Chains A and B, each alone.
Chain A
């Protein structure tokens, strides 16, 4: 009971140490700020859209292992996906990490996102895991001007 091993999965630690798509994209056509004033976690998400398709996605900034790895995993999953698919995936992801710890999880839909299922045990960390996602979705909805806060 006293171990956050379940929270810090190897995949999470790996993405924290070596975040993927971790660079400011100079020619992005969407730049969205995600900010958690409580922790000071601050990420910028960069996007290039081709119609409805996410052609390029990257992120940059600083945060805890959970928020950073979640942003990193997100970028690896969404490249080539449509905006609708991204929204759907976030819906599943959000449902997973906010559901009861004994609820059954649909690992076929969630895929790699399953590594964050441990977050369910730590309600205060949900905002870390969803920071980049919230920023992305609000940005896609054209609300990207103002920083997104999960508080």
Chain B
């Protein structure tokens, strides 16, 4: 985010009221040591750690609330149903979902995107039509559209990025045409951390009557997301990126569009009535939730959002922005290190390469110091190709990371240079 002087002052105020010690104590895994070295967890873009509030919600569910939802008259089933539907409401509130929209539980952001590509694509995309994505996408927002294009004879158009890792909006604008059936881009890039100008992207698409799907997996943990203000048609996200459990996520969608989409998966729960002659489908959101859902993790997802709300997403965003600025500067000290992705608006990600060490060797030596970073292509091979690198090392920040941890990483990177340079 662009930080003006006024905002900088606000950041400092926010930081002082941000109880980092308390937050860190809420995450049991952060208390773990290996060979006397504390864990420095900087792989939050891959998955974030889990606070006690979430672990407790899971334990509570399996200890005294476990039953199947939407089908029993008994007490436990009613309790489980209430908790499950409460979680859905918490998610809608957290993301400021407007009236007339739905929250559909999925396995994660990937399944949410697949749902739209498969179902919306089936109903609306035909031969010669076009789908717009960007060069910054995670594979999960490339491959489902590629498969759809192959199936339908449609064409995938890709918004190019500049050297800083920002989408080139003029090119995007020129790409939009009556053939465009949907625009699907990420809100924040997982590989580079770029915060994309989604407001403009949505505005331009809507001006032509084209719906927009946002992959919000990397945005949700780092900033307040207001779906009403954003006015996108679909938003996909995963619980485990926002300190919740793995295996659960959501598709937020405009009910009008969802109602016009054919079923994605079929089975129990998604039906109203079944006979061998005719099946009537259930109403939203259940129509897209076939089978027994991931009840426990949905409830724990709600607990994660409660936890974040209590601290405040604006406070978390301010704290992380300050940490990102600190980390960006600290990495400049390391000889031969080049940051990949230097967008003006960034969140949470420090992706880099080093002159004398391959990302995997960097990751290996950092692991010696009990520092966890990611090394590889981050499921975004086109981004790597754009920069002509096979892989990058990526430190991704979370709400509990500290300047001391950045310092520990920088120190370890100096050691990497000693070994390999």
Contacts and interface: CB of A to CB of B under 8 A. Distances in A.
A3 B37 CA distance: 12
Contact of A2 (B358, B370, B419): B370
B420 A40 contact: no
A39 interface: yes
B360 interface: yes
B361 A65 contact: yes
Contacts of A122: 364
A99 B419 CA distance: 27
Given A4-B364, A39-B376, A64 B358 contact: yes
Nearest to B358: A64
Interface string B353-389: 0000111110011011110000011000100100001
Interface in A10-44: 13, 16-17, 37-42
A104 to B, nearest CB: 26
- Give the interface size class of chain A: 20 to 34
B420 A65 contact: yes
Nearest to A5: B368
Given A4-B365, A8-B419, A39 B391 contact: yes
B368 A65 contact: no
Contacts of B361: 8, 64-66
Nearest to A35: B390
Contacts of B34: 1-2
Nearest to A62: B390
B360 A2 contact: no
A66 B368 CA distance: 16
Contacts of A64: 358-361
A13 B390 contact: no
27 contacts: A2-B37, A2-B369, A2-B370, A4-B364, A4-B365, A8-B361, A13-B420, A37-B381, A39-B360, A39-B390, A39-B391, A40-B376, A40-B377, A40-B384, A40-B389, A41-B390, A42-B390, A64-B358, A64-B359, A64-B360, A64-B361, A65-B357, A65-B361, A66-B360, A66-B361, A68-B358, A125-B360
Interface of B: 34-35, 37, 357-361, 364-365, 367-370, 376-377, 381, 384, 389-391, 419-420
